[in-house]
Structure 1
Amino acid sequence: MKLKPLALFVTHDGQSSRSNVTCRYKCGDACSHDVPNTSGGGYFGDIVRTVLSRRGALKAGATTVLAVGAGGVLAGCSNDATAQTGSLGGGSLEGGSSAPGMGFAPVAPNTLDEVVVPAGYEQAVVIRWGDPVLPDAPAFDFANQTAAAQERQFGFNNDFAGLLPIPGEPLAYLLVVNHEYSTEPFMFHGYDPENPTDEQIRIGLAAHGLSVVKVRGDFQSGRLTPEFGPQNRRITATTEFHVTGPAAGSALLRTSADPTGTKVLGTLNNCAGGLTPWGTVLSGEENFNQYFANAAQVTDATAAARLKRYGLSGDASERKWERLDHRFDLTQEPNEANRFGYVVEVNPWDPASTPIKHTALGRFKHEAATIHVTGDGTVVAYSGDDERFDYMYKFVSSRKMVPGGGQASMRHNLTILDAGTLYVAKLSGDSPDEVDGSGKLPSDGRFSGKGEWIPILRTGEDGRGESLVDDMSAEEVAVFTRIAGDKVGATKMDRPEDFEPNPKTGKVYVALTNNSQRGTDGKAQADEANPRSNNKNGQVLEIEDDHAGTDFVWNLLLVCGDPAAADTYFGGFDKTQVSPISCPDNLAFDPHGNLWISTDGNALKSNDGLFAVALEGERRGETKQFLTVPKGGETCGPIVDGRRVVLCVQHPGEVDGASADRPQSHWPDGGAAQPRPSVVAVWRGAGGAVGS
């Protein structure tokens, strides 16, 4: 079904649409727990450090960012599926011109159980949870799942997606997808959360991680079809990873199973990611805290404070993995949690390669890591810490990228993120006295200011770290990076999720998803970069960065929500001619340089979606909804090229009261089928480029 845009207004109460069950399994109910950041620094009014003025013209990067991911902690958890269609704010959006690449009729807000695309566009599922990745994978059997099967099949809850063209094979690609988390009540009939079976635990472990799948395009459409290729691979929560950087071998990472502190089994809660110019994939370990049990039983005061800063609390974990594997019990393996929360790097071209955990990039709830390359080959990696009142980071490598696709260049480039300097961001506003938490635009007509990157950790060519934070060792900064940010007074942000450098302009964009506790008693008050108290809808930050340096200027491109509301802003564009957008999560760019935004937890009471936003010229801020995902689902991992849009639909049908025994969605297979997280391709039916 294709919906025409409507001029109908509907009301909403501003609550996130993410269900309680999604909050519970995706982020460990982070939205209902105390905010981990209780430090007193990071308020704009407290900034006394001199901020350097922006340096000369910024160079566009040499990187090609093809895909991003998503996920994170939502500020509120409720659901309202009463309306089937509707529209918020703005006018009809019919007629008139649009920015290049945005020539489609916007989809109206809705709560349908399907992917809804613009008129004239077609879609097809690329791969679903349980589809084979390896040739010996058995056919998917929902009622009789096994861990052995899941280790060879596409994992659960796909988030990031990246497409890498295969040299010498026209229309062939490696599709790399991560699997953020498992929702066991939707995976098993009769699931008992208090008593999962050992096999259910093993299936959950196997459903995490990443999938590498060969796909082939179609000459007549944007369809992608999976194939069995030599690079096909499943990485799970039991795959061995190699630790690099200043924390490698540290006593903080050693366990009884790994006394070297350099070998970690698995990766957890992989959220968004990025593609590197040298052909590898980066993925961020996000809400890893929820997998570990018995933090409440840790009695050492220092250890307990560190666990609390990272959101580890309570007794038994939600999934009860500690019953099968004692590494998830902090009373038995107190350092195991320190081995998660990193940026991981996977070489998808070598299925026998050992993935890497990069400790030089710091440990926090990484939404992703995305790359910009300066004119002289310096590599800069940006990453956000997806938690209310946490920080933005960048890493500037001291090593230059070596171009070319040979083995020697790959070996070198795989070490780029192991030497350099890690920074955390501090921002100031141009009109601090005019920000009162209402979202009212300052008198200069924009939310804007300056910022600096504060160095906190330097890693040398020998892999040894140097702490740049008082009273912390280099190993401590690498493992307890949040605490280092607290000590230097970094700016507390509204859930910084995806960072994306624009490959055309070099400007950097950050999705700030929401923060319902902004401005509440005892919490950071509104500031110019986070201008609303009780922020339900989020905003998008635009940075002009001296990429390898320490200064930047910033402004807010979007202050999201109902365009009819006074507290929203769309880059100065006419708000009667934009689509409503709420809870920005993942970012991507099309060939025209437009920004595409996927949402997670739409607080405007319609399904999440994918939006295109013009960035330059007189139409800057024009925002149009390209699609919506099925009810209960989240839009993740958009890839937008001239031929197709590829996105991940995560947790379809996860609405409160639903389960495998009471499914409320049957997408994508229809009928009485169980909902299955899936990757989808969308293309223009009559041919031609997307958005033309």
Structure 2
Amino acid sequence: MAIRGLNLLFQSNRSKLTCTYKCGNACYGECTNTSDNEYFGDTVSRRGVLRAFGLGVVTVGGGAALAACGAGESGASSTGAASGSSTSGSGSSSADVKPLEGMQFDSVAPNTDDSVVVPAGYATGVLIAWGDPVYQDAPEFDPMNQTAVAAARQFGFNNDFAGLMDHPTDKERLLYVCSHEYTTEPQMFPNYDAENPTDEQINIGIESHGHTILEVSKVGKTGELKREFGPLNRRITGTTEFTLTGAAAGSELLKTSADQSGTKVYGTFNNCSGGMTPWGTMLSGEENIDQYWANAEAVKDGRAAEDVKRFGVKEGASERKWERLHDRFDLAKEPNEFNRFGWMVEINPQDPASTPVKHTSMGRFKHEAGNVHVTKDGTVVCYSGDDARFEYIYKFVSSKKIVEGDMAHNMTILDEGTLYVASLKGNSPEGEIAGDGALPADGRFDGTGEWHKLLTATADGAESHVEGFTAEEVAVYTRLAADAVGATKMDRPEDFQANPVTGKVYLALTNNSYRGASGENAKKSKEDVREYAPIRENKNGLVMEIEDDHAGEKFTWNLLLVCGDPEAASSYFGGFDKTKVSPISCPDNLAFDTYGNLWISTDGNALKSNDGLYAVGLEGQNRGQVKCFLTVPVGAETCGPIVDEERVMVNVQHPGESDDATFEQPGSHWPDGGNKVPRPAVAVTWRKDGGKVGVEG
């Protein structure tokens, strides 16, 4: 039975309210990458003609689960069914090709329900939501009486990345970890005045960022989870102390009036996707940091001025106006404070007294993901994307190996090694890539790539591999250094990680509506179509498969998915029958199940239906088979997927966040129903009969 798409003309569902508070309107503004990057420019030229249409670990990108959390392991589980949740069995994926283990469920049809919709035979519930207490002495959530003191001890706002790992001492519990990416003040506060936020509202916003570590327990013999008050519960916020380590630690570029050492910073902001490490820590990428700072015009000289512009910091006041209360957000008063954000963060969830770190050897940009692959000889490789239009993909290859049981050593692994940025080229003649999605003559969008060294950090110091840049400058001004070596402009590289079964690496490229744009948007295009980005005005996104020499400098690539409506000529599903797949748009976070299937969560579905979580077959006759497992409520983004044999978990971020939504007139009432305000929350889904997720019988 075919799973029909909703429409053939696309426009992202992400609201302007989301764009304002999530990324500072990066999707609407001018692209900050103005580099020429001609490294491979002579191999693929612009196209002028349109055709036709114009603890081992299973790392799961947007979410992660330590391998020990599979079926049969004792640990954690969930709450009762959420108000408004529903099930759907419409649209089975294929009568001809049997789905792989892990993908044997009835696909959920596209919808606009204000609920979490799951397949027939599955139940869903909410583990924890914005404002719920994380500590036993924290107050219950009262949206009309919020305080910064309470927010620092309650579940934060918009939860993005998630991970699940064994509890270090209690076999009956697990540890759930997540990031809190950003705050949407108009939806958080009654009668919010964006031009004149109160001091308390500013401080609540700061405390609502960061991370949550939460002990959870199982409910019976199901995959359901229940939140607990345990000694490992912890909130990390915008005022928590962090240590700066690696190549730029102690640099003059990182010193402020509050920290003359250049090694200590308070807080972390806009933590998007991340990963769980094999040594039992959480990685979290600081992404759209530019929106928190004010007065870009105050930075006038040299690379600092270039960097502020390259990140897109705006002149004048910031949207949240935090600089009115805290000088560190004012570039005119503390220009180096901005340099202390945009890093890969590492947290030890097993020690609530530990100080989190920011790894400067991994470079500073809008980090999306931070996922570790360990080669057969024990080399640690961490992949990360820079989530913005026409930005780059990176990897860090450590020179240090994992020492089992030595957490102090293992938390230094990402301080020493080599940082790389990638350039790609296609292998088809330029005239065969016209921007309409038509496959070239060889039947694949594919090619080769090269990793370019940016810096190498050792215990004795760091070496720059970029002419004209010191090692500290490469670390702090990474985008500028990557420009200089000719890195390849990609379509919003987001989650980026290796399949634990095959070792192949997968990359979600969410979209880029300005690639090759014409008319009024022509000035926002910084590159025409290429074989690695073959869709002009790409609104639905791509998923790339990479066979990498993980510790080396060469790789090959191909596009697994050109996302969109299956009925559109421009979409491609790995060669699978397009009449038998689910429509998918705007891939964001990635996960892998224990069978090696890829799972994709979406953000900003451009097909006029709710975002969701999709399973994708990668091998044999199932390659490219896409099946929707669940959809999230109206206005919400699907984040932090965790998929194991007992349960599927997603973070439901910014439900009801529509253009005209306010606290008084919300765009959703999920998860509490009635006339309640919407709350970002964690949804847990499990088989009603206690069976394995995605396995028949």
Pick the TM interval, shorter chain: over 0.9
Measured in 2, the distance between the counterparts of 1:233 and 1:302 equals: 38
Counterpart check, 1:479 vs 2:479: no
1:24 aligned residue? 20
1:261 aligned residue? 262
2:281 aligned residue? 280
Measured in 1, the distance between the counterparts of 2:28 and 2:63 equals: 24
1:93 aligned residue? 93
1:293 aligned residue? 294
1:592 aligned residue? 595
1:452 aligned residue? 450
The structure 2 residue matched to 1:685, chosen from 680, 685, 688, is 688
**Equivalent position amino acid for 1:685 in 2:** K
Measured in 1, the distance between the counterparts of 2:221 and 2:238 equals: 38
Measured in 1, the distance between the counterparts of 2:501 and 2:303 equals: 46
Aligned length: 654
**Equivalent position amino acid for 2:507 in 1:** V
**Equivalent position amino acid for 1:364 in 2:** F
Conserved in 1, the CA contact under 8 Å of 2:168 and 2:350? no
Pairing 1:126-525 to 2, within 5 Å after superposition: 126-300=127-301, 302-403=303-404, 406=405, 409-433=406-430, 434-462=432-460, 464-520=461-517, 521=522, 523-525=526-528
Local SS of the residue matching 1:423: strand
2:663 aligned residue? 660
Deviation at 1:461, TM superposition (A): 2.2
**Equivalent position amino acid for 1:330 in 2:** L
Pairing 1:572-651 to 2, within 5 Å after superposition: 572-651=575-654
Given the two structures, how large is their TM-score scaled by the length of structure 1? Answer: 0.92
Deviation at 1:43, TM superposition (A): 6.8
Local SS of the residue matching 1:283: strand
Deviates more, 1:214-223 or 1:338-347: 214-223
Conserved in 2, the CA contact under 8 Å of 1:538 and 1:584? yes
Measured in 2, the distance between the counterparts of 1:581 and 1:482 equals: 30
Conserved in 2, the CA contact under 8 Å of 1:69 and 1:368? no
Deviation at 1:9, TM superposition (A): 5.1
Conserved in 2, the CA contact under 8 Å of 1:62 and 1:374? no
Q: Deviations over 1:517-545 (max 9, x none)?
A: 11134521111111111000000000011
Measured in 1, the distance between the counterparts of 2:160 and 2:677 equals: 19
Conserved in 2, the CA contact under 8 Å of 1:432 and 1:528? no
Deviation at 1:167, TM superposition (A): 3.9
Deviation at 1:44, TM superposition (A): 4.2
Conserved in 2, the CA contact under 8 Å of 1:12 and 1:605? no
Given the two structures, how large is their TM-score scaled by the length of structure 2? Answer: 0.92
**Equivalent position amino acid for 1:691 in 2:** G
Deviation at 1:297, TM superposition (A): 3.3
Counterpart check, 1:537 vs 2:552: no
Deviation at 1:230, TM superposition (A): 1.0
Local SS of the residue matching 2:253: helix
| RMSD (Å), alpha carbons | 1.8
Deviation at 1:33, TM superposition (A): 1.4
Distance 1:689 1:69, change over 3 A: closer
Deviation at 1:435, TM superposition (A): 1.0
Conserved in 1, the CA contact under 8 Å of 2:114 and 2:634? yes
**Which blocks of at least 5 consecutive residues in structure 1 are unaligned?**
49-60, 71-84
**Which blocks of at least 5 consecutive residues in structure 2 are unaligned?**
45-54, 65-85
Measured in 1, the distance between the counterparts of 2:4 and 2:307 equals: 50
Local SS of the residue matching 2:178: strand
Local SS of the residue matching 1:306: helix
Measured in 2, the distance between the counterparts of 1:438 and 1:498 equals: 25
The structure 2 residue matched to 1:35, chosen from 31, 50, 62, is 31
Distance 1:42 1:391, change over 3 A: farther
Measured in 1, the distance between the counterparts of 2:181 and 2:165 equals: 21
Measured in 1, the distance between the counterparts of 2:63 and 2:57 equals: 17
Measured in 2, the distance between the counterparts of 1:199 and 1:533 equals: 45
Q: Deviations over 1:123-160 (max 9, x none)?
A: 01000000111111011111000000000000000001
2:62 aligned residue? 68
Measured in 2, the distance between the counterparts of 1:247 and 1:33 equals: 30
Distance 1:649 1:42, change over 3 A: farther
Measured in 1, the distance between the counterparts of 2:567 and 2:122 equals: 29
Percentage of matched positions with identical amino acids: 63
**Equivalent position amino acid for 1:45 in 2:** G
1:79 aligned residue? none
Conserved in 2, the CA contact under 8 Å of 1:69 and 1:498? no
Measured in 2, the distance between the counterparts of 1:162 and 1:280 equals: 10
Measured in 2, the distance between the counterparts of 1:177 and 1:63 equals: 17
Local SS of the residue matching 1:673: coil
Deviation at 1:66, TM superposition (A): 4.7
Measured in 2, the distance between the counterparts of 1:30 and 1:432 equals: 33
Deviation at 1:92, TM superposition (A): 6.2
